[in-house]
Amino acid sequence: MAQVHPTAVVHPGARLHDTVEVGPFSVIGPQVVIGAGTRIGPHVVVEGRTTLGERNHLFQFCSVGAAPQDLKYAGEDTELIIGDENQIREFVTVNLGTVAGGGATRLGHRNLLLANSHIAHDCIVGNEVLLANGAALAGHVTVEDSVKISGLVAVHQFTRLGRYAFISGGSMVTMDVPPYCTVQGDRATLVGLNTVGLERGGFTEEQIGRVKEAYRILFRSKLSLQDALAQLRGELASHPEVDHLVRFVETSKRGVTR
């Protein structure tokens, strides 16, 4: 049996693995599924059609699976899907999806959401992402793997953040941030590459060198964006790290931060 504190309220319809721990005064709703080894701290609310994977840790006073903060939401049956080994700290809020956004908010594995951060409806967050204190993702934001979002950052709805991007503290992000890049400011602009993140992520010197050359061609040459992409396809094709950058830029709908 799951270890549930006597003061916690767990709905009979909730499905908790036998190794789950639920702390004092927490509330678990009827459609919640919680995987093995997950710890729910005191004064936590998990509601809605929310699935939590294994070995997550939800700290006191966080709210997971509440209704979207969207005026169009009318109680539709949407969901929140959270993977494994995430840490969700104090006063974090993560909302359900909406029908208009595909019906689900998704959070991958090994993410760290620091106090007072927020993930809105229909966001798709990858693996090993950091949201520092007070960082907020508006609805429909996509965050690829290993992105670091500093404190008090706000990300506009429908924006994408590419893998290994670094968002400096206090930035207001209104356009897509290319993979591997660092941005800062209001409105955020490119200030260089996140080479420290690439090194920590296991990129080789050759891979980082190719990323630097791709960055130079895309953002430091006088070529138009289409000509720069064409040059990249011609000179650096078949390298996964560059191919990913090219695809990201080519598929941007909001436009890319320059």
The residues, any chain, with a CB within 8 Å of residue 71's CB and separated by 6 or more, are none
Q: Is the pLDDT of residue 69 over 90?
A: yes
User: How is residue 184 annotated by DSSP?
Assistant: E
Q: Are residues 214 and 108 in the same domain?
A: no
CATH of residue 223's domain is 1.20.1180.10
207 and 131 in a common domain: no
- Residue 51 in any domain: the answer is yes
Question: Does any domain span residue 241?
Answer: yes
Same domain, 126 and 241: no
| Cβ-based burial of 238 (10 A; exposed 0-12, middle 13-18, buried ≥19) | exposed
Residues 211 and 118 in one domain: no
Are residue 204 and residue 137 in the same domain, yes or no?
Answer: no
Is the distance from CB of 6 to CB of 23 less than 8 angstroms? no
Which of 29, 83, 139, 162 is flagged as catalytic?
139
CATH number, position 19: 2.160.10.10
* Residues 205 and 132 both lie in one domain: no
115 with 12, same domain: the answer is yes
Return the ∠ at Cα 112 (arms to 104 and 183), rounded to 5°: 90
Q: Read off the pLDDT band of 73 (50, 70, 90).
A: very high
**Domain presence at residue 169:** no
Tell me the mean pLDDT in the region 66-85: 97
Q: Is there a single domain that holds both residue 133 and residue 210?
A: no
Q: What are phi and psi of 229, to 5 degrees?
A: -65, -40
pLDDT at 78 over 90: yes
In a domain? residue 123 = yes
C-alpha 218/C-alpha 94 separation (Å) is 35
Decide if 88 is inside a domain: yes
Q: How many CB atoms lie within 10 A of CB 153?
A: 25
Residues 70, 122, 145, 176: which is the catalytic one? Answer: 122
Give the Cα separation of 160 and 149 in Å (integer): 12
**Over 90: is that where the pLDDT of 48 sits?**
yes
Same domain, 206 and 119: no
Separation of alpha carbons 60 and 249, rounded Å: 39
In a domain, 71, yes or no: yes
Strands of the 93-95 sheet, one edge to the other: 9-10, 27-28, 45-46, 63-66, 93-95, 118-119, 136-137, 154-155, 172-173
| Per-residue model confidence as pLDDT tens digits over 26-41 | 999 999 999 999 999 9
Last residue of one domain, picked from the residues 97, 120, 143 = 143
- Range of the structural domain that residue 49 is part of: 3-143
Q: What is the value of pTM for the model shown?
A: 0.97
Has 57 been annotated as catalytic? Answer: no
User: DSSP assignment, residue 204?
Assistant: -
Q: Is 139 a catalytic residue?
A: yes
Which residues, including other chains, have CB under 8 Å from residue 111's CB and lie 6 or more apart?
86, 87, 125, 127, 128, 129, 130, 131
Domain final residue pick, 143, 178, 211: 143
Indicate whether 125 and 212 sit together in one domain. no
In a domain, 130, yes or no: yes
**pLDDT computed for residue 1 by the predictor:** 86
Domain closes at, from 113, 143, 173: 143
Same domain, 135 and 244: no
Q: List the catalytic residue out of 109, 121, 140, 156.
A: 121
Confidence of residue 147 (pLDDT cuts 50, 70, 90): very high
Q: Is 68 within a domain?
A: yes
Instruction: Return the pLDDT at 237.
Output: 85
pLDDT > 70 in the chain, percent: 100
For the chain, the average pLDDT equals 97
Average pLDDT over residues 136-144: 98
Rounded CA separation 137/82 (Å): 16
DSSP strand pairing (142-143 vs 124-125): parallel
Quote the number of domains for the chain.
2
43 tagged catalytic: no
